[in-house]
Amino acid sequence: MGSDITRDFIGKEARFGARNYQPVPVVVDHARDCLVWDVEGREYIDMMGAYSAVSHGHLHPRIVAAAQRQLQRVAVTSRAYHGTTLGPFLEKLCTMAGFERALPMNTGAEAVETAIKCARRWGHRVKGIADGQAEILVARQNFHGRTSTIIGFSSEPDYRAGFGPFAPGFRHFDFGDIASVKAASNANTCAVLVEPIQGEAGVVLPPPGFFAELRDWCTRNDILLIDDEVQAGLGRTGKLFAFEHEGIRPDALILGKALGGGLLPVSAFLADALVMDVFNPGSHGSTFGGNALAAAVALEALLVLEDEDLVARSAEMGNHLIRRLRAVQAMAPELIRDVRGRGLWVGVDIDPGQASARELVERMARAGVLSKETHETVIRFAPPLTITTGLIDRAVDVFGAIVQAKSRAKAARPTPLADAALEPA
């Protein structure tokens, strides 16, 4: 795809980089809001939003300005000292999320690891589980990150193969099945760690009422409910937090991606004092977690989210996106098995017998729309929350044309029986 300059950049990554990614063959040069341009000047509509990390749009001017102001003062000192940006950021985050404490980290996986450590120590010190015996329940088809601990409790063979041995202390349940949760639990269960929507699994939604039942069961059994909203949080699903869709409150919340405003890796683990205060000086930390620059950027990202009413915009634009994608599905029901999602987070499930999700994604890229497949059968649509109806319509029109062309080509192709009938006797 593309000219010598495109092939040169792609070739250097292939030559000198580890082979742990398979990017769509587009070389991004610059971006603004919901538009991206490659090194050859071609324009694309970003319908991925960097897996929710660019929820505010690329290079939001207010967030860039906040970063520039802070870069004139101080960026990193470590948590060995206090600063002028961390406290205000934590205050705003806790106020918006409704928790008493927040522990800042960098990546989503680090925040998940923080949650695991906190849950185990809480299980021992507060619930009275023997040290080293606490267990955490996790859903099958989960995705919580890439560390060795986290992939150890993944149910995806490709994430685990050859990376063992893995840490014990995790038991699986079926996502959305409260009976399965109960069957997986025992006296040593200290927490349930779960995504409100399983993104990497293909934007899989729980059945209505599941999280309300789970919240009630955890409360009755003195078990922490830990909600991983690294992708789902901060407006992605049309609510500030996805747990609001069922009117519940988890015991702890994990945030990341959009918290960095599309500029920096920023994550956080939030809980009330009874849970969070199991940490003491020296028990956990991060050199870069909560650094002055990250805190300034994250605070501005939260303020922009409020000031521009991006949560309501996500709900409105998300409804439009889902309607448009379901209209495409109606034109090619044999190719598109399902369209599912909440807010601006939608998965289009492709029948692998009809088409390859990767093939469709690459065709979309050639036509100026950026997306990405997951698990080979689902195409994700998760643009910045600043997307307009006009850009959504342009992107879906491209997708619809590609789907129709693929569907027509499939229908016109002779079947094996027809081929046999054409052969001479």
Total H helices, total E strands in the chain: 14, 15
pLDDT higher than 70, residue 342: yes
* Residue range 34-39: mean pLDDT, rounded: 98
Do 116 and 193 meet the contact criterion of CB atoms below 8 Å apart?
yes
pLDDT given at position 424: 38
Sign of CA dihedral 109, 115, 120, 121: positive
Active site residue 257: yes
pLDDT attached to residue 151: 97
Query: Does residue 320 or residue 419 have the better pLDDT?
Result: 320
In this prediction, residue 422 carries a pLDDT of 36
Rounded to the nearest 10°, the torsion over CA 9, 10, 16, 22 is 150
Q: Does residue 232 sit in helix, strand or coil?
A: coil
Above 90 in pLDDT, residue 421? no
The tokens of 322 are what?
């889902």
At residue 2, the pLDDT reads 63
- Annotation marks residue 228 as catalytic: yes
- Of 92, 239, 257, 372, the catalytic one is 257
For residue 416, whether the previous peptide bond is cis, meaning omega lies within 30 degrees of 0, is no
Task: Tell me the mean pLDDT in the region 53-82.
Answer: 98
> Whole-structure pTM over 0.75, yes or no?
yes
Instruction: State the CB neighbour count (10 A cutoff) for residue 284.
Output: 17
Query: Roughly how many angstroms between the first and final C-alpha of the chain, as a whole number?
Result: 44
What pLDDT is recorded for position 417? 47
Amino acid 107 reads: T
Mapping DSSP onto H, E and C, the string for 344-382 reads CEEEEEECCCCCCHHHHHHHHHHCCEECEEECCCEEEEC
pLDDT over 60 (residue 415): no
The pLDDT assigned to 414 comes to 63
Q: How confident is the model at residue 425 (pLDDT cuts 50, 70, 90)?
A: very low
Rounded to the nearest 10°, the torsion over CA 103, 64, 261, 303 is 80
Percent of the chain with pLDDT over 70: 96
Answer with the residue of higher pLDDT: 34 or 375: 34
Burial 221-252 (b: 16+ CB within 10 A, else e): eebbbbbbbbbbbbbbbbbbbbbebbebebbb
When pLDDT is cut at 50, 70 and 90, the band that residue 412 belongs to is confident
Tokens 């149910």 belong to residue = 155
User: Strands, DSSP E only, in 6-99?
Assistant: 28-32, 35-38, 43-46
Q: What are phi and psi of 18, to 5 degrees?
A: -65, 150
3-state SS class at 112: helix
How far is residue 203 from each of residues 57, 117, 156, 175, measured CA to CA in Å? 21, 27, 16, 12
What is the C-alpha to C-alpha distance for residues 146 and 15, in angstroms, rounded to an integer?
23
Selected catalytic residue, list 38, 46, 227, 228:
228
- Is residue 372 part of the annotated active site? The answer reads no
What is the average per-residue pLDDT within 182-201?
98
pLDDT of residue 418: 42
Position 391 scores a pLDDT of 98
Mean pLDDT of the chain: 95
Domains of the chain: 4-58+310-412 (3.90.1150.10), 61-307 (3.40.640.10)
Active-site position among 38, 89, 92, 143 = 143
Tokens found for residue 422:
């054409």
